[in-house]
Structure 1
Amino acid sequence: MTLKNLCKFFLLGIFCFSNCIKAFGQVDSIQIFKNQIKDFKQQPNFTENSTQYVDLLNGLAYQLRYTAKDSINILAQKALEISGAIDYKKGELEALSNFSMFHLFKGEMEKAIDFGNKAIADIHLSQYAQTEMKVHNQLGQAYFSQQNYPLTYTHFLHALAIGERKKDDFYVFRMNMNLGTMFNLLEDFDEAHGYYASAKEAAQKLQDGSMIAMISSNLAYLYIQQDKFQEAKSLLQNSITYFKKHNDELWLAFSYGTYGQLLLKTGNYQMAKSNYTKALNSHNSLNDIKGKADVYFGLAKANYKLNDIDTSEDYAYKSLDLYKSFKLNTGLEKVYRLLYEINKQQGNIGKSLEYLEMTEKLANDISKEKNRRNLTMVNAKLNLEKEKEDLKAKSALELEQQRKYVRWALIALAILFIIVLIILSINKREKLLNKQLESQAVALNENQKELTTINRNQDRLFSIIGHDLRGPIISLKELLKFYLEDPEGKVYFEKFAPQLKEELEQVQFTMDNLLHWGKAQMNGNQINPETVQVKPELDIILQLYKNELQKKSIKLITGIKEVHTAFVDWDHFNIIFRNLISNAIKFTPNNGEIKILTEQIDDSLKIYVIDNGVGMGKEAIQNIFNDNEHFSTYGTNREKGTGLGLRLVKEMVLANNGKIQVESTLDQGSIFSVELPMKKIYT
């Protein structure tokens, strides 16, 4: 492994602390996902082209992030391929997130950033809050490893904002921990304390012991840097007790090391040595290079204070080798300073001066780097504050503009009121009278048009009632009268009841169409579009016509994809396709065939209802949607119709920003296609 990669692993490890929450249960989670995948594959109708299967692959990949990183790449690749084949956007974004995580844990930060940015560039990412937070968190870690602190800060804040908006206390805790740790390492302790306090509040809301213990250890580290030793000691003792109980070696090593640092600063060198030794024992089972380097240095410092110079020197060189492996200047500077003291005490003046020179050079470099870093962070904070202020200013400007419009509207109303008073006061003038007469003429003309439309609709309504509704009701009345008054009436009733039942069902269907048509003619008729899952809804409609299909032995072929949706009024959707499917059955002969198919075209969904029935000529096609024509024909088994259904279908399709087309050939069948938007159309 190169020195560059070792450095990246060190920086990544800083944030792994906040991401390893309840890591001791991870093996169980991995096995659960493996068992679920195994059970899913054993199902009789198993197919890989399933959203559920993709979710299981992505879930297992995420759980393997600490144990089998190479498997993440394989699982994410498979999930990405299947998601592309079935157009499953959530699966694609989760797979990209897992690719980013895979390269992040391998230390390949550029690739991790590339995959993270691909996910962010997708406009659908905002629909999946968990995935969006995970991507921003991983990008923040990758940029921190590159010491790009402004972008680290930006991505962590973005993930935090989503967590707060979604009231996701786990991610609120996680991102506040990461932000606090970042500022802690950058020695901006006031800023770090604010984020740690927010993380602690989230952990207490979740009542999670491991979270509370973690935040306590981090706060203790911060308090030590601020010389608040009593507060740090209390927090560390509680954390160590918790981590020992739960065998959490990672956090136990960190807490022992932090306690050792506290004891060094307070002059209890023997106890400091003891705690650093415990930390070193925990580190033997870990791969935390930076943590082990800190422990070696702590042991060197404690032994130096106890006048065990040889042991101190040995540990100092061990820590020096590790700090050199990832070029951590702050670590090198403090080791060189200790080696200067050791060599001075041993009488090695030349060597001690050499270490002193290296110490001063590193201290100068660290100071310069810190100044540059502080400037970039201040700039990042200022930019973020400016964005917030710009948003506030924009909102304030829009609000003021709205208030201005209201003021002008009130002024206009007042002026209009005055003008009306003036006009009323001089209403005897001929010019005003002429204008009023002209206005009345226009109004009468409009009223005449409305009245003509009402009369036409009324004629159509009475025609339908008289032609299609009155007959079955009269038949029912006569049959009931015969049943009640004639001894043989029961026999005739039972004989004609099935036919009458079909006629009454047609009456009910016609009444439904009349009610919806009447509602559509009313002023102010509102539609409520929503995302409709097309396949389940069409399946329900087809179930309603199961008997009619069986009665005519019609073969039904469906090609409706599970993932297809339409942004449409749910009630309108049902009326549209009940009428189209009813018509297809009506005009398809016995032993015929009907197809229901869907096709995605850009951001629209096209739904086809195809039959091989009697078909229509050009004149009939021109008249079926004509409001001025009453077009009605009998079906292949003499089924009745009102001619209203298709006009109602057209009105509802257009009201939902859709299109309807028909292609038909006599004696060959008809193709009705309805094109609906798949998402909200902004105008």
Structure 2
Amino acid sequence: MLNIFLIKLLNNYGRLLFIFLKLMQYKITVKHIFFLFAVVCINTTIAQVDSIQYYKEKIKTFSQSSTYSENSTTYIDLINNLSYQLRYSGLDTMNIITERAMELSKLLKYKKGELEALTNFSAFYLYRGGTENSIKYCQKVLSDNELIDYPRLEMKVYNHLGQAYYIKQEYPLSYTYFLQGLALGEKHKNKFYVFLMNMNLGTMFNLLEDYDEAKLFYTSAFELSKKTKDANMDAMLSSNLAFLHIQTGDFDKAKNYLNKSIVHFEYSKNKEWLAFSLSTLAQLYLKSKKYNEAIINYQKALSVHGSDNDIKGRADIYYGLAKSYYEIQDITKAEEYINESLSLYSSFNLNTGLEKCYRILYQIKKEQNQISKSLEYLELTEKLANDIFIEKNKRNLNMLNTKLNFEKEKDDLKAKNELAIDQQRKYVKWSLAALLTSFIIVLIILNSVKREKLLNKKLENQAIVLKDNQKTLSKINQNQDRLFSIVGHDLRGPIISLKELLDLYIEDPEGKKYFEKFAPQLRDDLEQVQFTMDNLLHWGKNQMKGSSIKLERISVSNEIENILHFFNKEIKKKYIKIDNQIINNHYAFADLDQFNVIFRNLISNAIKFTPNEGKITLTSKIKNANLLIEIYDTGVGMSELTLSKLFKDTEHISTSGTNLEKGTGLGLRLAKEMIVKNNGEIFVQSKINEGSHFIVELPLPTI
């Protein structure tokens, strides 16, 4: 995980300065800010302290001039600029100055000053840790119709919103606002904000471990940095790109970037970035299995690491030292450093850090023949790995949907603008036609041109429809890929656990005792694997072109009894009461195999989400020419939002049961597809904490 993303741009004319903001990946507090995120702000001097002094001198000079007055736009602009420079070193003073700027702006009805002050209030709360208030002020600025006259302010607000939602871990919204800032920067050809937004987006995806996306945005930022020929910016981008290349296995490129950046940061005495670059180089040696070189560079990084707030950066260094010492079999030092790292990761509940610490502790305790303790760490490791994987899949799906929605909005806006332009052109033509009605030949020509335009427009509309269909298919394919990834993980987990237990059984004298201890849980996991495999095979068969169904007369009562018998163990385990009111002489006209798959999944879900000592009721009745089979449960129920996504091909819902039973979200989608193929329908009613009611409607057999 990348621990520092600091960007500081100083161009040769001293007009731009890139500052850094520390962000959290999880819940943020002022005390525990630990991620340094890429933030850029406009300054006119080389350092932030110099910028404050610069504006103080400007205010002093203006106050001594003959045109001085607090009730002037020049004075308001100066104190607004000073206020923004104080966001790192003097938040209380910043708040006082911003309130004065707002008061004077309202008095003079100076809209630019008022919007600038509101933007400074958003920055004040962002840097203090009040993300909700920061968002509130940003939205107030965006709601002002006159903001369109100040695009630089609008870009700054999008930057603040992107940072605030990243802190809140609402990554799709963070992504959206950074993209909006990027689009606005490109529209107004503002290289400064184009660079900033590309860098922020690259940093965000870097932190989220989506290195392909990060590389795209960093590359764009890198192209801009080459044009500015700024050594400091070039060095910082080099460090970030080096980290990316290490993750993707291109060690030679990574080392070239790091050698260049380390020389620069040593010369410029930039301790934070030097520490980051050294720890990144150490990581390169660690992955190259050059453990002694890794230890040397991690120790160097630790010696220059100057930020007490950057808890994660220090935790990562301690982890790297622990891993390196473990690999050279210095177990004592490895255990010492891993405990230091674990303590720091625990202070802000970083699951990815805790998972890798527990994994090393599992290995250390195994080396020390502390089998019981080793197994405890193994359980913690597997649980965290599973949680991290599920959360990552959900986040990736949300990010994918956000990206598709943003692209669609851009296309819609483009089409709308093209339509408006086309309409304006038509108005011009109609006006010319009205003026030249006496010229019959010209009128004929204009009418011909108009018909040609309409035909072209029709072709364009058809092309747009085809493009939208292509995007929809692409989105469905990507979601199917995500689904297979999730299913694959659910199949892989129990197999890995079985392998670990078998290794312990074979290698350790006491392994048989632990194998017997965990065998029941492993058996349940493998049964779930079998159930998932059955669903996956049926789903794959259902997706195949030309797959056929064999409709026949089915005794619903007999089949439901068989299915309930199949789940008898799970029902008894949770003490669930089954009230089977299916009428004996009720028959459905459907494919028998698919009928069983449908109701195995529906009954399995009812059991999964019904708590211990709950109740499941099954009924049947004839309505018109169809048979209605209903399943009621007293389970946890579903929200309206979950219900709206339940059967959508572009959504994926995977939730653990009341006893932490695992699931892939494939069963309901498969049931829906099979019901439709059998000329039926499915309906769902549910309320949170009141249970769910599934209604399956299938045709009756003909007499």
TM-score (norm 1): 0.57
Query: Is the 8 Å Cα contact of residues 24 and 248 (structure 1) preserved in structure 2?
Result: no
> Does 2:25 correspond to 1:5?
no
Distance 1:239 1:26 in 2: 22
Query: Is the 8 Å Cα contact of residues 169 and 206 (structure 1) preserved in structure 2?
Result: no
**Identical positions, percent:** 55
Letter in 2 for 1:281: S
Q: 1:271 deviation in Å? A: 1.3
Letter in 2 for 1:182: M
Letter in 2 for 1:248: N
Distance 1:396 1:230 in 2: 48
Distance 1:47 1:417 in 2: 66
Q: 1:392 deviation in Å? A: 3.2
Partner of residue 159, structure 2: 137
Map Cα deviations across residues 137-165 of structure 1 (whole Å, 9 max, x no partner): 11100000111111111111122222223
Map Cα deviations across residues 63-98 of structure 1 (whole Å, 9 max, x no partner): 122222332212211111111111121111111111
Q: 1:188 deviation in Å? A: 2.0
Q: 1:315 deviation in Å? A: 1.5
Partner of residue 286, structure 2: 264
Distance 1:125 1:33, change over 3 A: same
Partner of residue 97, structure 1: 119
Q: 1:20 deviation in Å? A: 11
Secondary structure of the residue that 2:36 maps to in structure 1? helix
Q: 1:7 deviation in Å? A: 8.6
Distance 1:46 1:408, change over 3 A: closer
Secondary structure of the residue that 1:219 maps to in structure 2? helix
Q: 1:394 deviation in Å? A: 2.8
> Does 2:140 correspond to 1:118?
yes
Query: Is the 8 Å Cα contact of residues 12 and 141 (structure 1) preserved in structure 2?
Result: no
> Does 2:350 correspond to 1:328?
yes
Secondary structure of the residue that 1:66 maps to in structure 2? coil
Secondary structure of the residue that 1:13 maps to in structure 2? strand
> Does 2:369 correspond to 1:344?
no
Q: 1:213 deviation in Å? A: 0.9
Partner of residue 237, structure 2: 215
Map Cα deviations across residues 480-526 of structure 1 (whole Å, 9 max, x no partner): xxxxxxxxxxxxxxxxxxxxxxxxxxxxxxxxxxxxxxxxxxxxxxx
Q: 1:8 deviation in Å? A: 9.1
> Does 2:351 correspond to 1:304?
no
Distance 1:208 1:217, change over 3 A: same
CA RMSD of aligned residues (A): 2.9
Distance 1:359 1:268 in 2: 26
Distance 1:197 1:41, change over 3 A: same
Partner of residue 14, structure 1: 37
Query: Is the 8 Å Cα contact of residues 336 and 355 (structure 1) preserved in structure 2?
Result: yes
1:482-501 equivalent positions in 2, closer than 5 A: none
Distance 1:419 1:234, change over 3 A: closer
Distance 2:431 2:60 in 1: 68
Map Cα deviations across residues 330-382 of structure 1 (whole Å, 9 max, x no partner): 11111111111111112211111111111111111111101110111111111
Partner of residue 47, structure 1: 69
Distance 1:240 1:80 in 2: 44
Distance 1:420 1:252 in 2: 74
Q: 1:400 deviation in Å? A: 5.7
Distance 1:90 1:420, change over 3 A: closer
Distance 1:220 1:21 in 2: 28
Distance 1:225 1:8, change over 3 A: farther
Higher mean Cα deviation, 5-14 or 242-251? 5-14
Distance 1:171 1:402 in 2: 33
Higher mean Cα deviation, 309-318 or 63-72? 63-72
Distance 1:8 1:226 in 2: 34
Gap regions ≥5 residues in structure 2: 1-23, 444-703
Letter in 1 for 2:157: V
Q: 1:414 deviation in Å? A: 10
Q: Choose the corresponding residue for 2:385, options 354, 358, 363.
A: 363
Distance 1:166 1:282, change over 3 A: farther
Q: Choose the corresponding residue for 1:291, options 313, 335, 338.
A: 313
Distance 1:88 1:407 in 2: 43
Higher mean Cα deviation, 160-169 or 141-150? 160-169
Query: Is the 8 Å Cα contact of residues 7 and 327 (structure 1) preserved in structure 2?
Result: no
> Does 2:275 correspond to 1:250?
no
1:603-682 equivalent positions in 2, closer than 5 A: none
Q: Choose the corresponding residue for 1:56, options 68, 78, 82.
A: 78
Secondary structure of the residue that 2:69 maps to in structure 1? coil
Letter in 1 for 2:407: E
Distance 1:249 1:286, change over 3 A: farther
Secondary structure of the residue that 1:373 maps to in structure 2? helix
Partner of residue 110, structure 2: 88
Query: Is the 8 Å Cα contact of residues 301 and 312 (structure 1) preserved in structure 2?
Result: yes
Distance 1:67 1:414, change over 3 A: closer
Letter in 1 for 2:92: D
Distance 1:285 1:187, change over 3 A: closer
Query: Is the 8 Å Cα contact of residues 27 and 167 (structure 2) preserved in structure 1?
Result: no
Letter in 2 for 1:313: E
Distance 1:376 1:9, change over 3 A: farther
Query: Is the 8 Å Cα contact of residues 436 and 442 (structure 2) preserved in structure 1?
Result: no
Query: Is the 8 Å Cα contact of residues 8 and 107 (structure 1) preserved in structure 2?
Result: no
Q: Choose the corresponding residue for 1:388, options 376, 401, 410.
A: 410
Distance 1:419 1:37 in 2: 70
Secondary structure of the residue that 2:253 maps to in structure 1? helix
Letter in 1 for 2:167: S
Query: Is the 8 Å Cα contact of residues 95 and 121 (structure 2) preserved in structure 1?
Result: yes
Gap regions ≥5 residues in structure 1: 422-683
> Does 2:296 correspond to 1:274?
yes
Distance 1:293 1:39 in 2: 48
Partner of residue 151, structure 1: 173
Query: Is the 8 Å Cα contact of residues 29 and 63 (structure 1) preserved in structure 2?
Result: yes
Distance 1:366 1:161 in 2: 32
Partner of residue 195, structure 2: 173
Q: 1:255 deviation in Å? A: 1.1
1:590-601 equivalent positions in 2, closer than 5 A: none
* Larger-Rg structure: 1
Name the one with the larger helix percent: 1
Number of equivalences: 419
Distance 1:6 1:356, change over 3 A: farther
1:537-552 equivalent positions in 2, closer than 5 A: none
Partner of residue 69, structure 1: 91
Q: 1:191 deviation in Å? A: 1.4
Distance 2:43 2:55 in 1: 19
Partner of residue 261, structure 2: 239
Higher mean Cα deviation, 353-362 or 312-321? 312-321
Secondary structure of the residue that 1:14 maps to in structure 2? strand
